Amino acid sequence: MKKVQFLWVSIVVILMTMGLSSCGPKCKADGECNADCAIGEDPDCPIAPKEAVLSDLPGQGGINRTRLYADTVYFLQGRVYVNAGTELTIDAGTVIKGKPGSGNDAAALIVARGAKIHAVGTAEKPIIFTAEQDDLTDANDIPLTSGALWGGVVICGAAPLNTQPSELIFEGLASTETRAIYGGTNAADNSGEFIYVSIRHNGTEIGAGKEYNGLTLCGVGSGTQIHHVESYFSSDDAFEFFGGTVNTKYMSAVFPEDDAFDYDQGFNGNGQFWFAIQREDKGDRCGEYDGADTPENGTPFALPEIWNATYLGYTSATISRNTVIYRANGGGEHHNSIFLEATKGITIEETYDATDEDSYKRLNNGDLILSDNAFHNVAGGNLNKMLLVAPKGFNGQPDSATRVADANAVLYTYFTSNNNEILPASPLRGISRVAGAKALNPLTTTTISGATPTGTFFENVSYKGAFGTTNWLKGWTFLDKAAYLAD
């Protein structure tokens, strides 16, 4: 019996020794192989991750598994739905890769109304959605400016819209696809959690003129938890909100080819610590804030409250960009935010029809509030151009130059009387769009004091911008992985 025990112990020791000797130095934790080796993020790790395909079961059966593990790389094949009544759990550190394709073949994860997603990563183990060809052990394996390599992530909920009809199908999909219906009457609807997630290189075309965003939130309710989400190089918007009441924090929109943050259809959630950076050659607005589609006077009006944003645009002699636009009766609030590097300031649509509801009317009625914000190198630093009106549709000429002048005079006074300021020098510690340079530092050189938000959702900080003394982008984002961020 003792000989058998001795032999068994010897075998265990030999196996343990063999395991440790094959494990790279970065994989060791407390003398044992770190389980994180399996996700492919560590080039010293000898353990090849398992692979599995995520597909939609026949007959609209939905996703073919309900638990995704960090030791497996998953490949999205076409549109994959989490059906109503299903709950999908994604472990911290899991990697999901979208296969190439467009239209009906575009890879996307769509969480249906009535379903839940539990995607809870950590700063040390983020959940990553990226393209099939993306080698996560090499930050430079595909061009950093590659977008449209797969679709994106869509979450549908039952929170209110202001449209007619009050329920819609996600844009670009067939009217027969009932699993993409969103909207309802439950403002507190809960679609699960989406935390510490990085979405990369997405944005393939759904249909003519329609592309997937990084993360699209359709009628998502306030019971859903969303924070620490990065969208890197989406070929459309980084984040888009179609109605709903979901609250979000620590959101990072990096180099989208369209808008960074876009809301519409009566969105009424809250946001805090939103960061956007535009690339030099492409991209539209940091914020596109629409009120409604049809009708434009639909209720509830879009009146989200946003605190502590840092929007870093790019001034170009060939591309004219607004930092933010409000249109289609869009309202809302921006407080304690920093807007930098934009050809144009904040533009507010006025229809010049007294019977219409428009964004300029929202401002005059107290439904559009811009206070305690800071601007640098926006509209050439011209105070007269920080806030301007534009005609309906932002095309053509308004019917009266006098009315434009009167409205802009109102905005000039509004800007200064609501504690907004123009900064003569950049408040950021470092601005860079170069991978490997480690020169981007979005923290401010000194604290810029502002107001203090109230309400249970908001963190009660009184500084301006998305960052206090800690760079919350470090550790889990591709911006950090590709060495954009300063040490």
The pLDDT confidence band at residue 374, using thresholds 50, 70 and 90, is very high
Q: What confidence score (pLDDT) does residue 392 get?
A: 73
110 pLDDT more than 60: yes
How far is Cα 420 from Cα 199, in angstroms, rounded to an integer?
Answer: 33
- Contact criterion met (CB below 8 Å) for 419 and 451: yes
Residues 180-203: tens digit of each pLDDT: 999 999 999 999 999 999 999 999
Q: What confidence score (pLDDT) does residue 109 get?
A: 98
CA distances from 357 to 295, 296, 299 (A): 10, 7, 11
How far is Cα 209 from Cα 221, in angstroms, rounded to an integer?
Answer: 28
Beta strands in 165-237, from DSSP E residues, in sequence order: 168-169, 181-182, 192-200, 205-207, 210-211, 215-218, 225-232
4-8, 80-84, 320-324: the lowest-pLDDT one: 4-8
Q: What is the pTM assigned to this prediction?
A: 0.90
Cβ atoms within 10 Å, residue 434:
12
Query: Which two structure tokens, joined as six digits, stand for 336?
Result: 């304690």
Hey, what amino acid is at 54? L
12 pLDDT more than 60: no
| Cβ-Cβ contacts under 8 Å for 274 (sequence gap 6 or more) | 248, 251, 253, 261, 306, 308, 309, 310, 311, 466
Q: What confidence score (pLDDT) does residue 43 get?
A: 52
Tell me if residue 68 falls in helix, strand or coil. Answer: strand
Task: Give me the residue spans of the domains in the chain.
Answer: 35-258, 290-487
**Burial classification of residue 433, based on how many CB atoms lie within 10 Å of its CB (0-12 exposed, 13-18 middle, 19 or more buried):** middle
CA distances from 394 to 348, 398, 409, 435 (A): 9, 9, 19, 35
Question: What percentage of the chain's residues is helix, strand, coil (to nearest 5)?
Answer: 15, 35, 50
Residues 449-480: tens digit of each pLDDT: 999 999 999 999 999 999 999 999 999 999 99
Closest among 272, 178, 254, 181 to 219, alpha carbons compared = 181
The mean per-residue pLDDT over the stretch 10-18 comes to 40
Total length of the chain:
487
Q: What confidence score (pLDDT) does residue 18 get?
A: 40
Q: What confidence score (pLDDT) does residue 209 get?
A: 78
Query: Which two structure tokens, joined as six digits, stand for 294?
Result: 């049809």
- Contact criterion met (CB below 8 Å) for 338 and 384: no
DSSP letter at 233 equals: S
Residue located via tokens 């533009």? 347
| Cβ-Cβ contacts under 8 Å for 72 (sequence gap 6 or more) | 38, 49, 50, 51, 52, 94
28 pLDDT more than 70: no
The mean per-residue pLDDT over the stretch 364-392 comes to 94
Query: Which two structure tokens, joined as six digits, stand for 223?
Result: 């019971």
Hey, what amino acid is at 401? A
The pLDDT confidence band at residue 319, using thresholds 50, 70 and 90, is confident
The mean per-residue pLDDT over the stretch 7-12 comes to 42
Closest among 309, 308, 291, 312 to 300, alpha carbons compared = 291
Q: What confidence score (pLDDT) does residue 19 get?
A: 39
- Contact criterion met (CB below 8 Å) for 94 and 68: yes
How far is Cα 12 from Cα 451, in angstroms, rounded to an integer?
Answer: 62
352 pLDDT more than 90: no
Q: What confidence score (pLDDT) does residue 47 get?
A: 58
Query: Which two structure tokens, joined as six digits, stand for 377?
Result: 């190198």
56 pLDDT more than 80: yes
- pLDDT, averaged across the chain: 89
